[in-house]
Structures are given as C-alpha cells and as structure tokens.
Structure 1
Amino acid sequence: MSVRPASSGQEARGPVSASLQAGGGVPEVQRGSARVVQSFSAVVANYIQSVQKSIEAKYDLSGHPDNLTKFLIEEQGVPEDASLDTTPRSFIEYLTSPSASAIGPIPPQDLSYPISNYFISSSHNTYLTGNQLSSDSSTEAYKNVLLRGCRCVEIDVWDGESPPSSPQPDSPGSDSKSGLREKLGFFKKSKKTPSEAPKSQGTKEDTIEPWRSNTSERAEPRVLHGYTATKEIPFRDVCKTIRDYAFVASKCPVIVSLEVHTSHEQQEIMVEIMETAWKGLLVDAPTSTDDPENLPLPSPAELMNKILIKVKYSPKPPPEPKPEPKKLEPIDTSSSSSSSSDDEAPAERAAKPKIIQALSKLGIYTKSYHFKDFDAPEAKIPTHIFSLSERALLEVHEQVPHKLFEHNKHFLMRTYPHGLRVTSSNIDPVAHWKKGVQIAALNWQKIDAGTMLNEAMFAYTSGWVLKPRTYLSLPPAEGMQVMPTIKMLRLRVTFFAGQDIPLPLDEDKAKDFNAYVKCEIHVEPPGGKTKEQVKTNRNNDEAEYKERTKTAKAGQSPDLGGEVIQFEGITVDEPTLTFVRFKVIDDNMFRDELAAWACYRLDRLRPGYRFIHLYDANGVLSKGVLFVKVQKWLEDVSGAH
C-alpha cells in the first residue's frame, strides 16, 4: 500500500478541462484516471488496513482466490452474473481501481424511443458567464457547456446595431465603462419592433433584404440578455461555436432553443447564418409525408449528429384572395346625401406574424407554441413543445397533475428558472423530471443544488437519459402492464476518513479547515410537492432528509472516526429519480462554507467499501475523496398502500 503525507494548502489552479467540470453527459473515458485513487494519506491508510483485516478474516482471502469474488458479490453488490475476468488479486488492488468508485456504471443506453421519452441535459441563458443582469456574454460559455455534455442550449437573439467586427463607441460590444443605468437605458432605447426597423431597400413593399447600418456594412443579429447590462456577442459567432463543439462530447442530437426578439429583416439574416454555419447538421424534414404538421417524433438514434431548432411556430399565411371584378352600380340621383363605398374605412390587414416563415419552418420536430391548456388543438400536434416557467409549471401541476404527466409521456416540454433569479440560482430539476418534463433548463454558470442534481442524472451518459418505465409513451396494451411500485428506503453510510479535500473558495490555510460531512436525500413525494412545500424551500438548496457528522479538526485529511449516518423509512416510488448528495463543509464561527461535494442517483450509488470522489465548490472534479461504507435497502411495500 502506497502511503503519502497529506497535502497542505490549496493546489495551484490552471486552466480547467471542461471534461472535469460538473454538468453531466461527459463519457467516463474523457475523464481518464480521475476516478482512481493511487495512494493513500496516513489516516485513510489506517482505516484501509483495519477494514482489510476484517475482510480477510471473514472471507479467508488467503485461503482461495475465489473468496475475493465472494466478497465482491456479498459486500460490494457486484452482480453474480457479472464478468469477473478482471477480478483484482487483492483488496488493495481493488481499492486503487475505478471499480471502488461509489458511482456505478450506466446501464446500456436505449436510444430507440421517440424523443419525448428522454430527459435531456439542458442549459438556460447559455451565453451568460455569471449573473443575469451584468455578466458578460461569451461564445466560450457555449463551448464549455457542450464539452460538459449539455444537449440543449439557449440563444436570445436581438437586432444588430452595427457590423459585428467594429463595435461603435459606448455600444454594448465596446470596451467603454458606462454605468449600469446608462447601459440599461441603451438597451431599452435600442429595442426595435419590426415596424420601427429601417425599411428594406427592395422595390416592393413586402421584399425582405438584410438591412444595413450607416457604415454601409450590414448589421447582424446579436446575442444578449435583453434590457440588462450584459455584454453582447455576434449571433454568427455563437453558431460557429455550436458547429465546432456540438458533437465532441456526445453524438446525440443538440436542441437549439431560440428566443427571437429581432425584426423580420434580421430573422432573414439569422436563417442565412444558421443554414450556412450548420450545413449538413440541421435536421431535415422527411420528404415522404403528406402532412408536415403531424410528423411522428423520431428517436435520438435517428438524429445522431443533428441540430434541432426550437422556435415559435408561425402558420403559413392564407393565400390572398384574387380581386373580384368591380361591378358597376346604377347611380341613385334621388338623394344628394348618399355615400359611396370609397368613403368607408378599408378593412384592416391581418397582423404580421412575429416569426417569419423561413425561420419558423426550421422548427421541424420542436415547434414552440404558447401554452393555453391541454385541450387546445396544438397540444395534440406531435411536434409541438411548450415552454413554462417554474412558477407556471407549478400552477399547471396544482390544477391538472394527471393531464400534465400524461401529456409529457408523448410530447416535449421545457421549463426554466423564473426571471427574479438574478443571481443565476437554479430550479430543482428533480421536481420537474418527476412531472415528466424532458428539458429542465439550468444556469450552468452557477454551482448549486440544481447543477449538482443534474450532474448526478447525466454523469457518464450521452446527455439523453431514458425516462423510467412508467413515464414512457408505451402502446396501450404494454402500458397497462407497467405499474409504479412503492418502496421503503433504508440508507446507512459509515464515514471513515477523507484525503485531499479541496478548501473552500475563501480559505487558503489547511490548518483552519474544520470539516464535517452533510448527507442529504433528495426525493419527491409520489404526488409531487405542493405550493406550500415549495415555498418553504424556495432556493432548493437543501433536501428534506439530511444528517451530518461531527466536525473533524484535521485539515484536508479529516478523520471522521467511522461515524454512521442512517436514514430510515423514506418512501420512494422511483429510485432513478431519487438522489443522494454529500457535502463537505467548513465549520466556521460565522458562516459554514461549502468545500466539496458529490451527488449520485440512488440506483447508481454502489454499496460496499467505496471512495466518494469530490468536486470542489466551483464544480471541478478534484483529487479529494471520502472513504466510506455504503449499505442500502429498498423494500417493496406497494401492497401496503
């Protein structure tokens, strides 16, 4: 056994690989040896030696090599039919392999169901690097989340003010240091409706051409958070970045969610840019159908390496009626006060749609409609998608929970944080997945409970995760055979010690680091939380079930003393939507601070003697680990309810 002294102080930080950042969807192979513990600190080594002695005595490891296999099956939860050709020769060899990690391998991914049957790793306001009011927008943000496994990105698009390569003084793209009030005023002033946009230079009133700025170069759409002081970036650059990084971490489809605030002229430019930048990547409409409005949803397997555009649906305008020949009416000379039809007010023209046809038709399988109710005609269109804020979704769930759940078996839905989350805090994605919502959009620039749970859902996957069996759009005969089961959970975790625990962000002295571990279980009740239950935990930062260890005063290699934390009698109806979160916290006099964390789906948390690999407070996978023993029991109590 290799034993080394504990590290001291915070490690020097350089550029961080996106594959080591939390988010979800990054294949394990891209993280290399990050899940391997090659040597042990003195405190961890002492506990390992003690555990090894008890295992050797119980299983007589020195008597026969097959006894180690017996230990792996009985203590470590390895299936009896698993391939054991690579069984380690000793307990220590086992602990220094990835097999000792607390996170289990993902089951084989079945990508053959229609796309409504999957949870999709998704981001909100992807362009932002920080808060929702004044942070920079950056193409690097798109590169980062795509390399972290994100499969749905958002772009807010506004009219361009100047050529993308030469920002004007005091414009949002320049380096001027104008104050927040001035910047807010600029954006309010600069917003253009289609009627306020400069007239096109066409010879006909309905000709749409890219409009041009005073520099004679055409202005192009820009990306930013409207009516805020966030810095803009060119829409063209965002599209290029998505093209270059969309299919590096995963080959599964990417959904681009467009929030369009541009004039019709600028929408034409958007279409031109997207069709050029994403040539060969944009999903094509099937040519064999006679009814493009009612296409069946394809599977992710059919959309590999394809980009889907989510954009508001705009119906095709009806053909203008041909003018009828004007009939000559006899002149009535009997009254001088008669009026002719020319004196009547002309009929008003139909309002122009917000989204032009050229842009709307790119939303082939992800046509966005305004949600009215589940009985509206558009709610039955296979390719529709509704987007609801977290508050709107809660209202719908309160009123028609069954209709909401059944709808989301067959059709796509997206939810996102409400506008008052200006610090980029996140929704609880578990509450939304529980309602069958496929796209729970999160602010990936913020590491909080939301992004931790998202990491647990999508870790080592393709970014698309098949829903539980009772959530699928199965044929009626097959669906009737799938019934939810109620289980009672018991979880017992023994905490031995930790090593290389990263320090909190504001701490640089290991001797001042006094750590304790908080263990939480995130589980939604079978019927979902009520409004009142949500209000009591508005920030979603803590779970209903939580316990903590005593504080250890041993720097970055804390001795946790083999303390046991136990949970009893927790009702679980879906283990794949139940999560266990571990937080290592610095016990401070004034305010406890997060140092490190890990989060696992309950079905992927492996029993036995394990290493919990920790992310630091910035969401970067560190060398820090906790040595623990995990025991879990799930008893079926469906018949008792």
Structure 2
Amino acid sequence: RVGRVLGTREVGDSTPLPSPSLYPFTGNEFVQHNTWQLSRVYPSGLRTDSSNYNPQELWNAGCQMVAMNMQTAGLEMDICDGHFRQNGGCGYVLKPDFLRDIQSSFHPEKPISPFKAQTLLIQVISGQQLPKVDKTKEGSIVDPLVKVQIFGVRLDTARQETNYVENNGFNPYWGQTLCFRVLVPELAMLRFVVMDYDWKSRNDFIGQYTLPWTCMQQGEPAPLTPGQYPSSGCLPNAVLLPLPGYRHIHLLSKDGISLRPASIFVYICIQEGLEGDES
C-alpha cells in the first residue's frame, strides 16, 4: 500500500517484521529518495493485535516519519524510545550526513567505506538490587544474566550475553567482557537486557535500557594484561581500568517505567576501526 501526496511517500507495512522488500525502491535509491522527499511509514491495518515492526531498518534508509503502535510495549518500542532518548524525547533527531546527501552512495544492506567502523568493548561488572520476577512466590530469587544487543544495519546486528549468577539479585557479579564490531556506528542502537535464567523454560525479563551508540560515554584505552582478553576472540588494545568509562545503567520495565534502584554496573570503551585492520 503505497501512496504519494505532495511529495510525501506513505508506506503501510504488510509483513510481521520489516525487510528490504518493504522498501518501495532498492536500498540506495530509497536513501536518495529520502534526501529530498518525506517518507511516512505506519503499521498495517492487518496488525489487529497492535503489534509493531522494528523501526531500525526504516531509519537505516532515511525514513523521516516512522509511526509505531505506542500502546504496545516490547523490543520495538524499546528501540524507538531509545532512539529519541538522545534529544530528551522531543521527537526530532537529525539524520547522519550520509542520509542527507542527495548524492549519497550509502546502501543499508551493503555499507562500505568511508564510514568509520568502531570496536566496542563492554565489561559487564555487576548488578544492584534487581527485582524479583515472581513476587507472589515467597523466597523467589532471580538467577540474573545480562544480554547486550546491537541494532543497526544488518551486518552490525548482533548480541552476546554473560553467564548467569545463581540465586543473587541483590549484588550479582559477572566480570565478563563482550566485544562488538560495528561498521556504521551512526545508525547503531545498544540495548542492555537483564534476564532471569530458567533452565526449564524461556528466560524471564527483568529490565532493559536502550540508547544510541553515539550517546555512549566511554573511557580511554590502556594496554591489556594476560587473562583480560574477552572470550569472543576479539583482541582489543584496551583494558578495563578505573578510568572515565564506568557507568551505572538504571533499568526500565517493559513499559519503560524506571525500576530504580535496580541497575547494572559496566565499563564502556570504544576504539576507532576494526580489530585486525592493517591501517
């Protein structure tokens, strides 16, 4: 369902999740189209359950107005809320310059240089006062783990998680380092999710926090010492020392309500370029 009104292209999605087939043009053509016309995307009327699509892929193509079913909480709304967290939720965020250049060569499915790739190191250190999932069950204690997700262009989409800590929601300690390589950081979103491990069924949600990559505050790199390399195999030139990069991340509920004082304590370090680059 596509219509054109006064230079504005409206697209109603008709698939459960967005994909490149949702675009009315090929990837780069759609990016160039959105440098001089407005595109409004909205959930299809077939979504009778008020479900949402992931807005990230539409932002990757430069769409200016991506409507959501705001009444439905979940991953998609977490990404949407996180995206606009960078400007206090006022509703407007300036697109990266390569999505505003009418001669842009950017293709969301095939990002290539001159985009400045970056390597992200996150040391998930500890948690504080995590709430119980089943408050009706006396003596219930969570077995928390932390999942870190990256959303952006398809090649950057990734997730990693820590081990779980048994029976400790008050002050669990993980001390694990996760490593991510991101080609287009200007479009990347970072999501921290704390889950309650359950060996019998799906893990239960405890809390989350989502923010744009460009809003992260970080520390300075320093040499690694033996035994501090992350298990992912990424060999960074940084070590997690007590420098400006330690942050308490205060968790939000599924509905975006603060769960204070529940938080996780992390260290964040970002390096220019990808590990293994010769340049």
Mark yes or no: TM-score above 0.5. Answer: yes
3-state SS of 1:503 partner: coil
Residue by residue, what CA displacement relative to the aligned partner does 1:119-138 show, whole Å, maximum 9, x if unpaired? xxxxxxxxxxxxxxxxxxxx
- For residues 192 and 274 of structure 2, the distance between their equivalents in structure 1, rounded to whole angstroms, comes to 26
- For residues 116 and 135 of structure 2, the distance between their equivalents in structure 1, rounded to whole angstroms, comes to 42
- For residues 439 and 398 of structure 1, the distance between their equivalents in structure 2, rounded to whole angstroms, comes to 15
How far did residue 634 of structure 1 move? 2.8
Letter in 1 for 2:250: H
2:197 aligns to what? 587
Equivalent residues of 2:129, 2:171 under 8 A apart: no
Letter in 2 for 1:385: T
Written as runs of structure 1 = structure 2, the 5 A alignment for 1:285-324 is none
How far did residue 384 of structure 1 move? 3.1
1:492 aligns to what? 121
Aligned match of 1:561 in 174, 182, 192? Answer: 174
2:268 aligns to what? 630
2:25 pairs with 1:414: no
2:231 aligns to what? none
2:7 pairs with 1:384: yes
2:131 pairs with 1:502: yes
How far did residue 468 of structure 1 move? 0.7
3-state SS of 1:611 partner: strand
2:183 aligns to what? 572
- For residues 95 and 271 of structure 2, the distance between their equivalents in structure 1, rounded to whole angstroms, comes to 23
Change over 3 Å in CA distance of 1:571–1:548 after alignment to 2? closer
- For residues 430 and 473 of structure 1, the distance between their equivalents in structure 2, rounded to whole angstroms, comes to 20
Equivalent residues of 1:396, 1:404 under 8 A apart: no
How far did residue 416 of structure 1 move? 1.9
- For residues 555 and 423 of structure 1, the distance between their equivalents in structure 2, rounded to whole angstroms, comes to 36
2:249 pairs with 1:612: yes
How far did residue 399 of structure 1 move? 4.8
How far did residue 398 of structure 1 move? 7.3
2:68 aligns to what? 442
- For residues 202 and 22 of structure 2, the distance between their equivalents in structure 1, rounded to whole angstroms, comes to 38
Change over 3 Å in CA distance of 1:409–1:584 after alignment to 2? same
Equivalent residues of 2:147, 2:159 under 8 A apart: yes
Change over 3 Å in CA distance of 1:581–1:448 after alignment to 2? same
Change over 3 Å in CA distance of 1:398–1:461 after alignment to 2? closer
How far did residue 636 of structure 1 move? 7.5
Aligned match of 1:470 in 92, 98, 112? Answer: 98
1:514 aligns to what? 143
3-state SS of 2:170 partner: coil
1:117 aligns to what? none
- For residues 186 and 212 of structure 2, the distance between their equivalents in structure 1, rounded to whole angstroms, comes to 6
Residue by residue, what CA displacement relative to the aligned partner does 1:169-194 show, whole Å, maximum 9, x if unpaired? xxxxxxxxxxxxxxxxxxxxxxxxxx
1:547 aligns to what? 160
- For residues 193 and 48 of structure 2, the distance between their equivalents in structure 1, rounded to whole angstroms, comes to 25
- For residues 40 and 165 of structure 2, the distance between their equivalents in structure 1, rounded to whole angstroms, comes to 43
3-state SS of 2:79 partner: helix
How far did residue 397 of structure 1 move? 3.2
- For residues 521 and 633 of structure 1, the distance between their equivalents in structure 2, rounded to whole angstroms, comes to 16
Equivalent residues of 1:523, 1:577 under 8 A apart: yes
- For residues 10 and 141 of structure 2, the distance between their equivalents in structure 1, rounded to whole angstroms, comes to 47
How far did residue 501 of structure 1 move? 2.0
Equivalent residues of 1:432, 1:440 under 8 A apart: yes
1:82 aligns to what? none
CA RMSD in angstroms, aligned pairs only: 3.2
Gaps of 5+ in 1: 1-368, 372-377, 527-542
Select the structure of larger CA radius of gyration.
Answer: 1
Change over 3 Å in CA distance of 1:576–1:508 after alignment to 2? farther
- For residues 626 and 418 of structure 1, the distance between their equivalents in structure 2, rounded to whole angstroms, comes to 37
3-state SS of 1:450 partner: helix
Q: Which moved more, 1:487-496 or 1:597-606?
A: 487-496
3-state SS of 2:256 partner: coil
Name the structure where helix makes up a greater proportion of residues.
1
Change over 3 Å in CA distance of 1:513–1:600 after alignment to 2? same
Change over 3 Å in CA distance of 1:436–1:489 after alignment to 2? same
How far did residue 620 of structure 1 move? 0.6
Written as runs of structure 1 = structure 2, the 5 A alignment for 1:117-136 is none
3-state SS of 2:62 partner: coil
Change over 3 Å in CA distance of 1:490–1:502 after alignment to 2? same
Name the structure where strand makes up a greater proportion of residues.
2
Residue by residue, what CA displacement relative to the aligned partner does 1:306-351 show, whole Å, maximum 9, x if unpaired? xxxxxxxxxxxxxxxxxxxxxxxxxxxxxxxxxxxxxxxxxxxxxx
Letter in 2 for 1:520: Q
3-state SS of 1:464 partner: coil
Written as runs of structure 1 = structure 2, the 5 A alignment for 1:34-49 is none
Written as runs of structure 1 = structure 2, the 5 A alignment for 1:1-16 is none
How far did residue 484 of structure 1 move? 6.3
Gaps of 5+ in 2: 106-111, 219-244
